[in-house]
Amino acid sequence: MNSTALKLQPTLRIVQGGPSDRAITVVVDDFVDYLRVERNASEHTVSAYHRDLRDLVEFLGDQDVDQVGMGDLRAWLKRLHQVGHCASTIGRKLATIRSFFVFAQREGLVEENHARALRAPKRGQRLPHLVATHDIDRLLDAPGHDRLGLRDRALLEVMYSAGLRVSELVGLNIADVDLDTGTVKVIGKGDRERLAPIGKQAIHALTMWLDGRTVGAVYTNYKGGRLSTRGVQKMLDKYTAQVGLEATPHSLRHSFATHLLDNGADIRSVQEMLGHQSIASTQIYTHVSTTRQRAVYTQHHPRA
């Protein structure tokens, strides 16, 4: 091991006789149980937190949680930079660690939350990838007319028609769908509930896919269980390759918002439809829409 690598390693404190009640691995398990039981967090959220914490434990070793110092956490943060994690990933991992130490402090396992003093790296603002409306049409027309095609068409139509996050999409139950009013009840981030409107083509696609079913998950896999987020991504990859496009579930959500603004929707309405708690999260789409307008202006105005 070279001298640089040695400097990055925290001081390991080996617990004799097996892990104590304060060992990080034990506290991590308690924290995961807390997220699942008391906070009623989704399995996706729990898995993400658990994965980030396992990375920290792998770096620190299974020392007692109250022995983790500021130097240890700074070394871990430095290591994340050095192995090439992007700013958004580091920021997410740091948020996980802060929440973990808030829990540990609340449980009386640590006196001070050193993670509070750590600063996440600044993230450059990236404009969202957009899919043009004519390409959206090609994508939504790609599924066939067999049973699988009906499901995929209903999924793609609702994803774009309502601008849903993929987690919101797979979480839909048939009881959440009102075809008469053209709305779906969505449970978004922070367990916030909203009604999202869907268009005529999405209503028609859902009607064909549900085929009279009244209970259960809206989108199911070939075994009859709820379709996973990974399943949605694989399905979308299949159709984007088929029609020669680049698109992700999130770029369809970006496109939904930008197309609304391009056609005159007000930003407050778009904020509500997206389920954004803060309008600041929605304002990036105003910037994208203005950028597109400027490009058209520059191209076509005689004195641009």
pLDDT digit string (tens) for 228-241?
Answer: 999 999 999 999 99
The single residue of 22, 153, 165, 254 carrying the catalytic annotation is 165
The single residue of 189, 200, 230, 238 carrying the catalytic annotation is 189
196, two tokens: 């999202």
116, two tokens: 């509070």
Whether 5 shows a pLDDT value over 50: the answer reads no
Whether 300 shows a pLDDT value over 80: the answer reads no
Is position 85 annotated as part of the catalytic site?
no
The single residue of 93, 151, 259, 276 carrying the catalytic annotation is 276
- Tell me the domain boundaries of the chain: 3-117, 133-300
3-117: in CATH 2.10.109.10: no
Contact of 277 with 190, CB cutoff 8 Å: yes
The single residue of 93, 151, 153, 253 carrying the catalytic annotation is 253
For residues 82 and 109, what is the distance between their CA atoms, to the nearest angstrom? 30
pLDDT digit string (tens) for 14-32?
Answer: 334 444 578 888 999 999 9
The single residue of 49, 160, 219, 285 carrying the catalytic annotation is 285
Instruction: Identify the band that residue 33 occupies on the pLDDT scale cut at 50, 70 and 90.
Output: very high
For residues 64 and 154, what is the distance between their CA atoms, to the nearest angstrom? 51
The single residue of 81, 250, 287, 294 carrying the catalytic annotation is 250
For residues 13 and 60, what is the distance between their CA atoms, to the nearest angstrom? 9
pLDDT digit string (tens) for 89-129?
Answer: 888 888 888 999 999 999 999 888 888 877 766 655 555 67
Is position 50 annotated as part of the catalytic site?
no
Is position 165 annotated as part of the catalytic site?
yes
Is position 153 annotated as part of the catalytic site?
no
pLDDT digit string (tens) for 53-64?
Answer: 998 888 888 888
Q: What CATH number labels 133-300?
A: 1.10.443.10
Q: Which residues pair with 73 in a beta bridge?
A: none
pLDDT digit string (tens) for 251-282?
Answer: 899 899 888 988 888 888 888 999 888 888 78
Q: Spell out where the chain has E strands.
A: 177-178, 183-187, 193-197
* Topology alike, domains 3-117 and 133-300: no
Least Cα distance to 199 among 137, 132, 282 occurs for 137
Global confidence as pTM: 0.58
